[in-house]
Amino acid sequence: MTTQPRNERLEDALVRDPEISEQLLRWYDQTARDLPWRKSSDPYAIWVSEIMLQQTRVETVRPYYTRFLERFPDVFALASAEEEDVLSLWSGLGYYSRARNLRRGAGVVAETHDGRFPRSRSEALAIPGIGPYTSAAILSIAYELPFAVVDGNVARVLARVCRLDVPLQRKASFLEAQAEALLSKERPGDHNQAMMELGATVCVPRDPRCDLCPIGEHCQAHVDGVVDAYPSPPPRKETVALELVLFLVVDRAVGATERLLLERGNWPLIRHLWIPPIVESAGGPPDSSDAGQQGWANAWNRWTRHRAKGLEVGGWSHLGSIRHSITHHRIRFQVVEGTLQSAPSDLWATRDDLTVATERAREELGRSSLLTKALALRDRVKGRKQLEFPI
Ligand code: SF4
């Protein structure tokens, strides 16, 4: 293949050489790692493995995958399982919403598709927890349907093969089109797995092992000797400073077990995690007008107004502040503790974005580093004089 000229209109510059797929598949046939989920063409088993592998290392997933399939061998077994049982088998794997969605998804497949994973992309995408990547992976590997996957590994390989001169995040549609253009129509499942394998084992983020690469002669970055420059780094965003108040609202109503109020989905930067309630600090950094019981009560009222009217909290105590970074946001949280005094009687039963959770339940909901920091601060100041204010 001749080197593709770099083109201002990247969408017109798709590499379409079928030799790339042929060489990739030959390499995959000879070197593919022996992984338990590769022994199966059962869409359910492939689905389980793809969900477990999201943001989790292969070696971590292996024992969980085997145990999970022994306990829930098919869609019907998972669909009829108690959520608690599914979560306990998932315990330690993290990102517990994956397990909840998998169980919900099994319910949909059991009820709507007679237990058979659908072959249509749109029906697959309608299943809870299944997005473009997962649907392409399952449909191609289980049914040999021609959908190309683009995960982080594949995107990196393509960026190097095509010398893509813009950050990957800006070129999702180009990457999808490029992945489709290279896809083997005879063995799309193996082709997808080979691309992912190449990114995971050879075309790694730092110091790719180009001497072992089966498609090195087609890789523009390698041929031009500029591999280190790809993928292009994302543009640096300007740092944004935020001042927020974080509420550790304690519910001691049930026996001696302390429960903490947590919410999910309200804060745009941390939508997927269960975290304590947060509001913006009135007028930026806290000042004397924010201090004291009335100041914290006012801040709490701002939260309840939007999130849950009728949640009465008192006995506010300012514990100090913590710093936390999320993407380009540098956030200072004033951490205040209060005691839950009353809540509408039907609140916990009617809201799936609010809960009061014991320490054990919090583990199952997934650990947020923000909550861990706030609780560590509380542990430090417990029994000690409240930190000076303002900080
Ligand atoms: S030649 Fe190197 S940079 Fe190019 S795809 Fe192969 S491993 Fe990646």
Residue 306, domain member (yes or no):
yes
CA of 350 to the centre of ligand 1 (A): 52
pLDDT, residue 167, reads: 63
Q: What is the pLDDT of residues 330-357, one digit of tens each?
A: 999 999 999 999 988 888 878 888 999 8
* 344: CATH: 3.90.79.10
Q: What is the pLDDT of residues 24-44, one digit of tens each?
A: 999 999 999 999 999 999 999
Secondary structure (H, E, C), the chain:
CCCCCCCCCHHHCCCCCHHHHHHHHHHHHHHCCCCHHHHCCCHHHHHHHHHHHCCCCHHHHHHHHHHHHHHCCCHHHHHCCCHHHHHHHHCCCCCCHHHHHHHHHHHHHHHHCCCCCCCCHHHHHCCCCCCHHHHHHHHHHHHCCCCCCCCHHHHHHHHHHCCCCCCHHHHHHHHHHHHHHHCCCCCHHHHHHHHHHHHHHCCCCCCCCHHHCCCHHHCHHHHCCCHHHCCCCCCCCCCEEEEEEEEEEEECCCCCCCEEEEEECCCHHHCCCEECCEEECCCCCCCHHHCHHHHHHHHHHHHHHHHCCCCEEEEEEEEEEEEEEECCEEEEEEEEEEEEEECCCCHHHHCCCEEEECHHHHHHHCCCHHHHHHHHHHHHHCCCCCCCCCC
Q: Is the CB of 377 under 6 A from ligand 1?
A: no
Residue 270 shares a structural domain with residue 132: no
Across 205-216, average pLDDT: 96
Q: For residue 269, is it within any domain? A: yes
Please report the pLDDT score of residue 9 as a whole number: 56
How high is the mean pLDDT of the chain? 88
Total domain count, the chain: 2
**Residue 327 pLDDT class (50, 70, 90 cuts):** confident
Q: What is the extent of the structural domain holding 254?
A: 240-381
Cβ–ligand 1 distance for 261 under 6 Å, the answer no
Q: Is residue 387 situated within a structural domain?
A: no
Query: Which of 229, 251, 272 is the last residue before a domain boundary?
Result: 229
- 157 within ligand 1 shell (Cβ under 6 A): yes
What's the gap in Å between 91 CA and the centre of ligand 1?
37
pLDDT over 90, % of the chain:
62
In a domain, 203, yes or no: yes
Question: Is 372 found in the same domain as 273?
Answer: yes
50 is annotated as an active-site residue: yes
Q: Which entry of 11, 19, 22, 50 is annotated as an active-site residue?
A: 50
**pLDDT at residue 3 greater than cutoff 50:** no
Cα(213) to ligand 1 centroid in Å equals: 6
Q: Give domain status of residue 338, yes or no.
A: yes
In a domain, 3, yes or no: no
* Residues 83 and 53 both lie in one domain: yes
Q: Which residue has the higher pLDDT, 283 or 228?
A: 228
Q: Is 7 within a domain?
A: no
pLDDT band at 390 (very low <50, low <70, confident <90, very high): very low
Q: Sorting pLDDT into bands at 50, 70 and 90, what band is 12?
A: low
Shared domain for 141 and 281, answered yes or no, is no
276 lines ligand 1 (CB under 6 A): no
Give tens-digit pLDDT for 143-198: 999 999 999 999 999 999 989 876 665 677 888 889 999 999 999 999 999 999 99
Q: Are residues 218 and 199 in the same domain?
A: yes
The CATH number linked to 61 is 1.10.340.30
